[in-house]
Amino acid sequence: MPINTHSTRKTRRSEDSRRLGIQVIARAASILRTLEHHPDGLTLGQIAGLVDLPRSTVQRIVDALDEENLVIAGATANGVRLGPALIALASAAKLDFLELARPVLALISRDTGETVDLSVFDHDKVVFVDQIPGTHRLRAVSAVGISFPLHACAPGKAILAALPNHQIEKLRKRLKLARLTENTLHTWEQIDREIDWVRKHGMAFDREELSIGISAVGIAFRCPRGELAAISIPVPTQRFAAIETDLVKTLVERCQVLRSHLQD
């Protein structure tokens, strides 16, 4: 049976084109993520060095991003920075995420009677972006706009465990392991063990590590545009011990539903 060489070459060209397209997207994403950490912008040469690509390749990708206003001229000479088109995209993604997450927060609060927090990962901390107050009394330990260190709270430890190892390695250089209470994990040996435990069990606990008298449980997950977020339930320690099992069960079930919605 004769081999259809024309068809074979066409298939190979199609596969090569697909691989090239994926490679270009990955490289463009790498450039955008690099610029995220340099708000004043970078030169093409600086970008090339940071993403380990030839300057000519960076030039072509940056030119294409510039056409879509995904990058614009930076503050430095011949530099570029993130562009205004990303603001609209980020706002739309964030709005969708908050709209999907808020009903889940409300259900968890209704089921448990406790305050429920939503936080997002921001470099070396978590920032609280939404909260549903519970019917049970809780002194203020979190509020929208407040940030806490990753190593000392349930949502922070859940997010830390969800990070890839190479990103954790980078955090080691800049994460200050402040000891906020006598229970705070304050060495990387302790945190490494905690990360292993959280990855195994899928949730993180704060047992008076951030604030004496308050314990919490948290679960991390990815938002639509890839950021890490967490839902957590802070409870006075005296009450937490008695209802911990129910809190975990409710949080796990509701977060599974949220994850399925985020994947749709």
Model pLDDT for residues 99-143, shown as the tens digit of each residue: 888 899 999 999 999 999 999 888 788 888 889 998 877 666 677
Q: Which residues of 172-191 are buried (b: 16+ CB within 10 A; e: fewer)?
A: eeebebeebeebbbbeeeeb
Edge-to-edge strands, sheet with 79-82: 42-43, 79-82, 71-73
Supply the pTM of this predicted model: 0.64
Residues with Cβ within 8 Å of 73's Cβ and at least 6 positions away in sequence, in order, are 41, 79, 80, 81
**pLDDT of 250 strictly over 90:** yes
DSSP string, 207-260: ESSSSTTEEEEEEEEE-TTS-EEEEEEEEEHHHHHHHHHHHHHHHHHHHHHHHH
Helix, strand, coil proportions of the chain in percent (round to 5)?
Answer: 55, 20, 25
What do you get for the CA distance between the two ends of the chain, in Å?
45
pLDDT digits (tens, 9 = 90+) for 44-63: 999 999 999 999 999 999 99
**Structural domains for the chain:** 5-83 (1.10.10.10), 90-263 (3.30.450.40)
Cα–Cα distance, 68 to 49 (Å, whole number): 24
Question: Measured between alpha carbons, how far is 151 from 149 in angstroms, rounded to an integer?
Answer: 6
> So what's the pLDDT on residue 90?
65
CB contact at 8 A, 37 and 50 = no
Tokens of 86: 């990303």
Triad 160, 169, 147: Cα angle to 5°: 40
The confidence score (pLDDT) of residue 216 equals 96
Mean pLDDT of the chain: 85
Kindly report, residue by residue over 168-213, the tens digit of the pLDDT.
998 888 888 999 999 999 999 999 999 999 999 999 999 999 999 9
Chain-centroid distance of CA 64 in Å reads 27
Q: What is the percent of the chain where pLDDT is above 90?
A: 49
- Crossing angle of helices 55-67 and 5-36, rounded to 10°: 80
User: For residues 66 and 41, what is the distance between their CA atoms, to the nearest angstrom?
Assistant: 13
Q: Residue 234 has what pLDDT?
A: 95
Nearest 5°: phi and psi at 131?
Answer: -155, 140
Give me the percent of the chain exceeding a pLDDT of 70.
84
Q: Are the C-beta atoms of 232 and 155 separated by less than 8 Å?
A: yes
- Burial classification of residue 154, based on how many CB atoms lie within 10 Å of its CB (0-12 exposed, 13-18 middle, 19 or more buried): buried
Q: Is the model's pLDDT at 146 over the cut of 90?
A: no
Based on the number of CB atoms within 10 Å of its own CB, is 27 exposed (0-12), middle (13-18) or buried (19 or more)? middle
Q: Which residue has the tokens 């970078």?
A: 42
